[in-house]
Amino acid sequence: MNLSLIDWLIAFLSILVLFFGVRLSKKFVKSVVDFLSAGRSAGRYMITVSQGMAAIGAITIVGQWEMNYVAGFALRWWEFTMAVVLLIITVSGWVIYRFRQTRALTIAQFLEIRYSRNFRIFAGILAFISGLLNFGIFPAVSARFLIYFCGLPLSFSFAGLELSTFPLVMAAFLLISVYFVFSGGQIAVIITEFIQGVFSNFTFLIIIIFCLFFVNWDQIFQAVTTVPKDASLINPYKTSEVPDFNFWYFLINVIGVIYVKLSWQGTQGFNSSAKSAHEAKMGEVLGNLRDIPRWLFLVFIPIIAYTILHNADFSAIADGVNKTLSGVGNSAIQNQLRIPLVLSKILPVGVMGAFLAVMLMATIGTHNSYMHSWGSIFIQDIIMPFRKKTFEPKQHLRVLRLAILGVCIFIFLFSLFFPMTDYIFLYFAITAAIFVGGSGAVIIGGLYWKRGTTSAAWSALIVGSVISVVGIILQQIYPGFPINGQYFWGIAMGISSVIYILVSLLGKKTDFDMDKMLHRGKYEIKEETVVVNKVPLKGLKILGMGKEFTKGDKIIYLSAYGWTFIWVVVFIIGTIFNLSGDVPDSSWMSFWKTFVIINLSVSFFIITWFTIGGIKDFKEMLNRLKTTVRDHNDDGTVRKEITKEIN
């Protein structure tokens, strides 16, 4: 065992707090909307902290560590430009604002409103299959982390039988997650994810600070300069030999961020949980600042691990880690376990327990969100469209829970038997592309282009999925196939978009009633539209700040703009220096040291700010859930009078 009694106690108490949050949420689930979308009651801070945690499960942390161990700081440099893209997306409310205006509970419900019921069913099936395959490896990766980080035995004797630890750990994670979702649905998900998010962010900072004392910058520099000349971990202009996670990986990600907004539905419950479209938009903007401490942790810790494994000063620790890795499965599993094993050797008592608590929370939280999402999608977007009669409220909640249980059983069996042979993020890219390869064109076209047709939607989604399935088959038949999952995703996005546009333009010229779908003009819902300034703000409007914005909202927007602008300027200056001459590695090392210190300082402020804002939102959310009058007809069913199909 690698942990002390104090560490186990910290982890146990942390999980106990989550059980308290679930118990609190249980009494508020009185309708389908409560179960699926937290009664549309969440404020911006609850949304951004909770959704951020839902998107960073234990598997995401391990996957990011895998990637950044190979790419180092260099990939983060290119992401400075990506920050501009993210900012434009969030401050404009790209996709999320219009989707919330539709009042749809799931993306596929919107697809029925915009296109047709048959298309909704097809999209729901495709999203469900894609999601299950993607989700299928979560329990396995999380269980392996726990076993090796904690130093648990790989097997144990019970009643004369030799039992494997691996399936039992997976089962324990999944049973806790099922209980959470069964009890409080999306309300429980948001509350528990918020608690996890606050705890995790503070723990991230503690671990980073400890690592800065354990390893000094000279030792880091000595280690990172041992890499081949064109596979640099610190100089982004010398990365031509970096495998998989290079500039082209980044470029496809940039395009993907724009293209797949809301396409991936692993956390779809958050898409419709905000109390208004404006709050959803503000939650997205705050997400740009929320990610600062998280990304610092995900990038810096792999650098620390690389230093410990490649600097002679830490040879004893490196030998112990390598000895353990030599007895572990294939290279893919070794890549997953490398950094957790390093941390298990260096973290002190108390910090070990806090980090274990973070990973347990992250595992349970992601399982909560994903099981809730895929189970809900199965019922809402596959089963319900086939039914002539709608479910009764209690019956509806019962079948939602049964679907979630089915998802739980499937991913347990998939994780138990699926042979993982690739990097986590490359597996994510190709399995997700089964749906998101074509769905981006369908969603964006449906929300923003009145000429988009149902035929175009069918064509784009089918083409995107076929390209991705072909990619999966080729990679299974030919190990080491030169086109990886990321490239197949990029190909699927490009071809599907072209298909959607061409088929729409060549088809029947009919305009869709966008005002009716988006509840604008005479269809406006007054209680969901808060107008602060009746006179449009001409100067600020171009920055995405309109009549709903308070003075505080404007400050948040300008802060997000300012933070992004600073790093874009740094990127431009750095690029000029590198184009004008060779910048030595020592200068790059000085830059990254400054980068870490600045981000660490800012992180303390952001975490405190979001925690206070989230507590206020939490109180308002509970009050709203107590007083809201439920409409049991609001269950995700598309009524005939609000849909219009374009063929």
Local confidence band at 635 (pLDDT 50, 70, 90 cut-offs):
low
Burial of 478 (0-12, 13-18, 19+ CB in 10 A): exposed
Give the pLDDT score at 528: 60
Give the pLDDT score at 350: 92
- 568 within a domain of the structure (yes/no): no
Which among 250, 267, 264, 211 has a CA at the least distance from the CA of 438?
A: 264
Number of Cβ within 10 Å of residue 195's Cβ equals 22
How does the average pLDDT of the chain come out, rounded? Answer: 84
Backbone angles phi, psi at 136, to 5 degrees: -55, -30
- 226 within a domain of the structure (yes/no): yes
Name every residue whose Cβ is closer than 8 Å to that of residue 127 and which is 6 or more positions away in sequence. Answer: 107, 108, 265, 377, 381, 435, 439
Question: What average pLDDT does the segment 614-636 reach?
Answer: 81
Q: Which residue has the higher pLDDT, 325 or 332?
A: 325
- 245-266: per-residue pLDDT in tens? 667 777 787 888 788 777 776 6
Instruction: Check whether 152 has a pLDDT greater than 80.
Output: yes
Question: What average pLDDT does the segment 181-191 reach?
Answer: 84
Name every residue whose Cβ is closer than 8 Å to that of residue 538 and which is 6 or more positions away in sequence. Answer: none
Question: What average pLDDT does the segment 189-217 reach?
Answer: 91
* Residue 110 to residue 352: CA distance in whole angstroms: 45
Q: Which residue has the higher pLDDT, 456 or 473?
A: 456
Give the pLDDT score at 294: 86
Between 240-249, 347-356, 456-465, the lowest mean confidence (pLDDT) is in 240-249
Percent of the chain scoring above 90 in pLDDT: 26
Give the pLDDT score at 541: 55
Question: What average pLDDT does the segment 215-241 reach?
Answer: 87
Name every residue whose Cβ is closer than 8 Å to that of residue 343 and which is 6 or more positions away in sequence. Answer: 149, 207, 301, 305, 355
Percent of the chain scoring above 70 in pLDDT: 91
SS3 (DSSP) at 229: coil
Local confidence band at 226 (pLDDT 50, 70, 90 cut-offs):
confident
Local confidence band at 646 (pLDDT 50, 70, 90 cut-offs):
very low
The tokens for 517 are 């779908």
* Residue 518 to residue 408: CA distance in whole angstroms: 35
- 290 within a domain of the structure (yes/no): yes
Number of Cβ within 10 Å of residue 72's Cβ equals 26
Instruction: Check whether 530 has a pLDDT greater than 80.
Output: no
Indicate the angle between helix axes 277-310 and 217-224, nearest 10 degrees: 80
Local confidence band at 458 (pLDDT 50, 70, 90 cut-offs):
very high
- Give me the number of domains the chain comprises: 1
Question: What average pLDDT does the segment 283-302 reach?
Answer: 86
SS3 (DSSP) at 274: strand
Give the pLDDT score at 3: 84
- 346-398: per-residue pLDDT in tens? 999 999 999 999 989 888 888 888 888 888 888 887 888 778 788 888 888 89
Local confidence band at 61 (pLDDT 50, 70, 90 cut-offs):
confident
Residues spanned by the domain of 601? 5-530+584-642
Give the pLDDT score at 639: 54
Between 50-59, 164-173, 340-349, the lowest mean confidence (pLDDT) is in 50-59
Q: Which region holds residue 404: left if phi is over 0, alpha if psi is between -120 and 50, else beta?
A: alpha
Local confidence band at 115 (pLDDT 50, 70, 90 cut-offs):
very high
Asked if 384 and 637 count as a contact pair (C-beta separation under 8 A), the reply is yes
Alpha helices in 260-276 (DSSP H): 268-271
- 296 within a domain of the structure (yes/no): yes
Which among 401, 372, 360 has a CA at the least distance from the CA of 131?
A: 372
Give the pLDDT score at 454: 93
- 592 within a domain of the structure (yes/no): yes
Please give the torsion angle defined by the CA atoms of residues 199, 205, 206 and 212, in that order, rounded to the nearest 10 degrees: 160
- 565-620: per-residue pLDDT in tens? 888 889 889 889 888 888 898 999 999 999 999 999 999 999 999 999 999 998 99
SS3 content of the chain, % helix, strand, coil (to 5): 75, 0, 25
Q: What is the CATH number of the domain that holds 455?
A: 1.20.1730.10
Local confidence band at 442 (pLDDT 50, 70, 90 cut-offs):
very high
Own/partner contacts of 229-235, CB < 8 Å, gap of 24 or more, are 232/72, 232/74, 232/585, 232/588, 233/71, 233/72, 233/73, 233/74, 233/303, 233/306, 234/72, 234/73, 234/74, 234/585, 234/588, 234/589, 234/592, 235/74, 235/583, 235/585, 235/588
SS3 (DSSP) at 143: helix
Alpha helices in 151-246 (DSSP H): 165-214, 217-224
Instruction: Check whether 478 has a pLDDT greater than 80.
Output: no
* Look-up of token digits 């951020």: 52
Q: Which residue has the higher pLDDT, 26 or 639?
A: 26
> Is the C-alpha dihedral spanning 263, 248, 142, 23 positive or negative?
negative
Instruction: Check whether 451 has a pLDDT greater than 60.
Output: yes
Local confidence band at 31 (pLDDT 50, 70, 90 cut-offs):
confident
Instruction: Check whether 81 has a pLDDT greater than 70.
Output: yes
Element (H, E) at 128: helix 117-135
- 462 within a domain of the structure (yes/no): yes
- 567 within a domain of the structure (yes/no): no
Which among 519, 527, 522, 555 has a CA at the least distance from the CA of 540?
A: 555
Give the pLDDT score at 529: 55
Give the pLDDT score at 244: 64
Give the pLDDT score at 544: 57
DSSP codes, 521-580: GGG--GGG---S-SS--HHHHTTT--TT--HHHHHHHHHHHHHHHHHHHHHHHHHHHHHH
* Residue 194 to residue 50: CA distance in whole angstroms: 4
- 562 within a domain of the structure (yes/no): no
The per-type count for the chain, helices as H runs and strands as E runs, is 25, 2
* Residue 527 to residue 541: CA distance in whole angstroms: 23
